[in-house]
Amino acid sequence: MNPSPAGAWLLLVLSLPTQSATARMRIWRALKAQGCAALRDGVYLLPRRAGHEAALRELAEACLREGGSAWTMEASPTGADEALAFPALFDRSEDYAALIAAWKKAAATLPGLAPSELARLQRKLHRDFHALRAIDFFPGDASLEADAAWTDFSRRVERLLSPNEPQEVEGQVPRLRADAYQGRLWATRRRLWVDRVASAWLIRRFIDPQARFLWLQQPADCPADALGFDFDGASFSHVDHFVTFETLMLSFGLEGDAALGRLAAMVHQLDVGGEPVPEALGFEAVLSGARERLGDDDDALLAEMATVLDSLHAYFQRDPTKNRT
């Protein structure tokens, strides 16, 4: 590794009054949240990156308000050994190992949790993971191992939230005429979750306004005259990297609706992962709470979540800066 360029690092040197235990704890937690490395007591290091200088200045100002002293400055290693030693101070391997251990412990409890508890646990653990990744300034093998472990844990949760989740198949999405799919019986797995509830809304809102829905205990229960969706062997399901909502959009030529495209990105992220969508966690929280409150009444759940999806669609239409093409 080549020596770091001059000014590639930032130092915060601070001192707090010894009698202010509360202030010391508050500053220490803020330093930890920023991912600072301690060179010695009162001397902290960060790589110089976007936002870090402002963050250290805020910490310095907080220290001054508590009656202490603080200085921020640039720093650079004086040789190759220090250039290697500085990044090593930010090794997050033990932190990742602790997270992976926590996920393994949590995995043993998953079958006994209610859907809302599963969703809350997944969100909480994901926040912890995201916070660690945000301060992993020099990611390595431990980060890759944690990514794989998190994917495995998330899939376990999703299998419990959505039993019989369909597997993607290779192929082309055929173009279909909506006028040939009117007044039909549509069927999917009961206990609706993200892709299924959004797909049912899309069907009734944009494809078949008179659609009737059948909620299946098992995919094998699907009648021959019903149009199945979001299960293996269904008429509409996961194709290549598209989730069922996206498959339906493409099948019926709805991809020109930019607001629907934004909804599709949200559904995709919540169903199989992908680029974060700001509204996703809020939608998941509302769906989880509604499902807990309404129990097994999927008709009532669809009616309630249809209002939420209508509102999101309207919001994305009115705010073009949020839309994607």
Tens of pLDDT along 131-153?
Answer: 999 999 999 999 999 998 988 88
Q: What is the pLDDT of residue 165?
A: 65
pLDDT of 5 above 60:
no
Q: What is the pLDDT of residue 209?
A: 97
Q: What is the pLDDT of residue 296?
A: 87
Tens of pLDDT along 72-120?
Answer: 999 888 888 888 899 999 999 999 999 999 999 999 999 888 877 888 8
Higher pLDDT, 47 or 172: 47
Q: What is the pLDDT of residue 80?
A: 87
Mean pLDDT calculated for residue range 125-135: 93
pLDDT of 168 above 70:
no
pLDDT of 3 above 50:
no
What domains can be seen in the chain, in order of their start residue?
9-88 (3.30.70.930), 93-161 (no CATH), 178-322 (no CATH)
18-22, 166-170, 297-301: which range is least confident on average?
Answer: 166-170
Give a three-class secondary structure readout of the chain: CCCCCCCCEEEEEEECCCCCHHHHHHHHHHHHHHCCEEEECCEEEEECCCCHHHHHHHHHHHHHHCCCEEEEEEECCCCHHHHHHHHHCCCCHHHHHHHHHHHHHHHCCHHHCCHHHHHHHHHHHHHHHHHHHHCCCCCCHHHHHHHHHHHHHHHHHHHHHCCCCCCCECCCCCCCCHHHCCCCEEEEECCCCHHHHHHHHHHHHHHCCCCEEEEECCHHHCCCCCEEECCCCCCECCECCECHHHHHHHHCCCCCCHHHHHHHHHHHHHHHCCCCCCCHHHHHHHHHHHHHHHCCCHHHHHHHHHHHHHHHHHHHHHCHHHCCC
pLDDT of 322 above 60:
no
Band the pLDDT of 155: cuts 50, 70, 90. confident
Tens of pLDDT along 255-295?
Answer: 999 999 999 999 998 888 778 888 998 998 899 889 888 98
Tens of pLDDT along 20-73?
Answer: 788 888 899 999 999 999 998 899 999 999 899 999 999 999 999 988 899 999
Tens of pLDDT along 180-231?
Answer: 999 999 999 998 999 999 999 999 999 999 999 999 999 999 999 999 999 9
Mean pLDDT calculated for residue range 9-30: 87
Mean pLDDT calculated for residue range 153-181: 79
